[in-house]
């Protein structure tokens, strides 16, 4: 554990403090002590750019708010800019100015990266600063990091993903509950998943921006939003989904990019996929990205693609990386990261549910006897099924509720000595 008192502070500014921005503020504040251990410095959100400084925002000190970009860009103590305001302008101008002023930049802005990625990345290269955008694609799924670093040595030939939570929620509801498109959209709107104007989601534009960004990185060749062939889900009916099911398929809105011998194919469209494909079981507002590399084969990355804290988590992950660069902490990332010293519990002190298969005497009162032993040891039975009976021996399967392993093993030692128990053939734990 490093000394917290004398720790250097790195100051960051938030541009925007809507859903994602307030999540970032919350995580940076709550995890400050951990960040000191992870990054070697204290991280502080020192200023927040908003349109209206008089509006009160829960949990955000009004002293941090400013409506003047100059106050941030001219503040030499602020070394990191976190852009979570969205839209093309003024976000683009602010980011360019920040990089030219020698600041590092993190953005969650997919529209901007999909449209002006080349300009922004070229400026980052020229200024030798960081420009990170993990949160722009698939929320907290670390697909940008995976494609740029972990799979750096891979020849990626296909990337395919469910990268829009709103449409995945709508299609899941239509599939699982037989809702019409309109009913499912209404539900998504009521839950806050869909915006008042749902066009960017349901027409596939949002997914189009994300597949353009992922394809560029995966294939090392520029793919822009305008290259993507896009169809949305407005025309999908409950009947289509019903018939698809008859063919053993589900309908998902997929972004698909393939590197073929004669060029890149890149599209967003609703598509029937077999129900045993890993992407078929990605439901509700979850996202998943499927990547095929010639050496790795198929890999898949699954998680929340949107939402306050999952998106904020992707932003603060980038923040840690940027801060580690600033502090040269990337040079010793091999270092053991065990700065805590948490005790490891003995298995007897942990809790489990149990699946128990045993052969017992086939006569009345046996189950009562077993239940009583369990009861005395604080083990409660969730389910009992008698599976077979022959030659005076019955086979029972018992599933218990969650219980401390110690109590359960006490019960088992007593049971083992009962003459009514002929054999305990299986003892397997059950996921709670």
Instruction: Tell me the residue length of the chain.
Output: 432
> Using CA atoms, how far apart are residues 113 and 94, in angstroms rounded to an integer?
14
For a copy of itself, give the closer residue by CB, 65 or 174. Answer: 174
Shortest distance, position 279 Cβ to a copy of itself, whole Å: 9
Nearest to 252 by CA among 164, 140, 159, 183: 164
Tell me if residue 423 falls in helix, strand or coil: strand
- 17: its two tokens: 């403090």
For a copy of itself, give the closer residue by CB, 190 or 349. Answer: 349
> Using CA atoms, how far apart are residues 2 and 93, in angstroms rounded to an integer?
38
- Sign for the pseudo-dihedral over CA of 72, 129, 137, 117: positive
Shortest distance, position 64 Cβ to a copy of itself, whole Å: 20
For the window 373-412, what string marks contact with a copy of itself as x by the rule CB under 8 A? ----------x-x-x---------x-x-------------
Does residue number 9 form part of the binding site for a copy of itself (CB under 8 A)? no
> Using CA atoms, how far apart are residues 88 and 178, in angstroms rounded to an integer?
38
Which of 96, 101, 238, 264 touches a copy of itself by CB under 8 A? 264
- 296: its two tokens: 């790795």
Q: Which stretch binds a copy of itself (CB under 8 A): 49-57, 300-308, 369-377, 415-423?
A: 300-308
Q: Judge whether 139 and 110 are in contact, CB under 8 Å.
A: no
Shortest distance, position 142 Cβ to a copy of itself, whole Å: 3
Q: What is the DSSP string of 145-188?
A: HIIIIITTT--EEEEEEE--HHHHHHHHHHHHH---HHHHHHHH
Which of 62, 150, 409, 423 touches a copy of itself by CB under 8 A? 150
Q: Which stretch binds a copy of itself (CB under 8 A): 188-196, 203-211, 314-322, 411-419?
A: 314-322
> Using CA atoms, how far apart are residues 155 and 292, in angstroms rounded to an integer?
9
* Measured CA distances, 64 to 48, 314, 375 (Å): 6, 23, 58
Ranges within 237-256 binding a copy of itself (CB under 8 A): 237, 239-240, 243-244, 246-247, 249, 251, 254
Ranges within 34-93 binding a copy of itself (CB under 8 A): 34-35, 37-39
Shortest distance, position 68 Cβ to a copy of itself, whole Å: 27
Which of 19, 53, 66, 145 touches a copy of itself by CB under 8 A? 145
Shortest distance, position 177 Cβ to a copy of itself, whole Å: 15
Shortest distance, position 276 Cβ to a copy of itself, whole Å: 8
**Given 210, 252, 259, 267, the catalytic residue:** 210
Ranges within 315-374 binding a copy of itself (CB under 8 A): 316-317, 319-321, 324-325, 330-345, 347, 349-350, 355, 357
Shortest distance, position 32 Cβ to a copy of itself, whole Å: 11
Ranges within 111-130 binding a copy of itself (CB under 8 A): 117-118, 121-122, 124-125, 128-130
Ranges within 189-218 binding a copy of itself (CB under 8 A): 216-217
> Using CA atoms, how far apart are residues 322 and 41, in angstroms rounded to an integer?
12
Tell me if residue 202 falls in helix, strand or coil: helix
Nearest to 110 by CA among 214, 221, 228: 214
Does the annotation count 68 as an active-site position? no
For a copy of itself, give the closer residue by CB, 15 or 124. Answer: 124
Nearest to 49 by CA among 63, 66, 74: 66
For a copy of itself, give the closer residue by CB, 42 or 277. Answer: 277
Q: Which helix (H) or strand (E) holds 212?
A: helix 205-219
Q: Quickly count: other Cβ atoms within 10 Å of residue 73's Cβ.
A: 18
Which of 83, 111, 115, 134 touches a copy of itself by CB under 8 A? 134
Tell me if residue 247 falls in helix, strand or coil: coil
Q: Which stretch binds a copy of itself (CB under 8 A): 76-84, 137-145, 170-178, 372-380?
A: 137-145
Residues marked active site are found at 210
């Amino acid at each position: 554990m490093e000394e917290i008192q004398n720790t250097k502070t790195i100051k960051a500014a938030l541009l925007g403090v809507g859903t994602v921005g307030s999540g970032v503020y919350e995580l940076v504040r709550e995890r400050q002590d951990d960040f000191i251990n992870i990054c070697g410095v204290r991280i502080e959100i020192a200023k927040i750019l908003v349109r209206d400084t008089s509006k009160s925002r829960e949990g955000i000190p009004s002293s941090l708010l400013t409506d003047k970009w100059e106050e941030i860009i001219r503040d030499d103590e602020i070394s990191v800019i976190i852009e979570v305001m969205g839209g093309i302008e003024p976000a683009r101008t602010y980011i360019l100015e920040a990089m030219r002023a020698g600041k590092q930049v993190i953005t969650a802005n997919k529209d901007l990266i999909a449209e002006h990625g080349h300009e922004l990345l070229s400026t980052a290269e020229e200024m030798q600063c960081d420009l990170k955008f993990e949160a722009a694609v698939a929320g907290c799924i670390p697909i940008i990091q995976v494609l740029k670093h972990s799979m750096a040595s891979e020849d990626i030939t296909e990337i395919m993903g469910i990268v829009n939570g709103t449409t995945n929620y709508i299609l899941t509801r239509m599939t699982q509950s037989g809702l019409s498109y309109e009913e499912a959209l209404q539900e998504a709107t009521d839950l806050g998943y869909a915006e008042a104007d749902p066009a960017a989601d349901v027409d596939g534009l949002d997914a189009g921006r994300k597949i353009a960004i992922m394809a560029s990185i995966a294939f090392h060749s520029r793919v822009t939003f305008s290259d993507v062939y896009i169809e949305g889900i407005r025309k999908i009916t409950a009947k289509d989904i019903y018939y698809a099911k008859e063919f053993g398929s589900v309908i998902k809105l997929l972004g698909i990019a393939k590197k073929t011998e004669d060029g890149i194919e890149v599209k967003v469209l609703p598509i029937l996929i077999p129900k045993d494909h890993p992407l078929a079981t990605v439901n509700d507002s979850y996202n998943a990205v499927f990547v095929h590399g010639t050496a790795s084969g198929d890999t898949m990355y699954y998680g929340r693609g949107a939402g306050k804290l999952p998106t904020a988590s992707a932003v603060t992950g980038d923040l840690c990386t940027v801060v580690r660069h600033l502090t040269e902490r990337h040079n010793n990332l091999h270092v053991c990261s065990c700065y805590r010293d948490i005790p490891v519990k003995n298995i007897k002190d942990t809790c489990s549910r149990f699946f128990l298969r045993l052969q017992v005497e086939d006569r009345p009162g046996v189950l009562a006897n077993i239940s009583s032993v369990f009861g005395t040891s604080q083990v409660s039975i969730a389910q009992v099924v008698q599976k077979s009976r022959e030659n005076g021996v019955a086979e029972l399967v018992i599933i218990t509720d969650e219980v401390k392993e110690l109590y359960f093993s006490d019960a088992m030692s007593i049971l083992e000595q009962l003459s009514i128990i002929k054999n305990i053939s299986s003892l397997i734990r059950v996921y709670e």
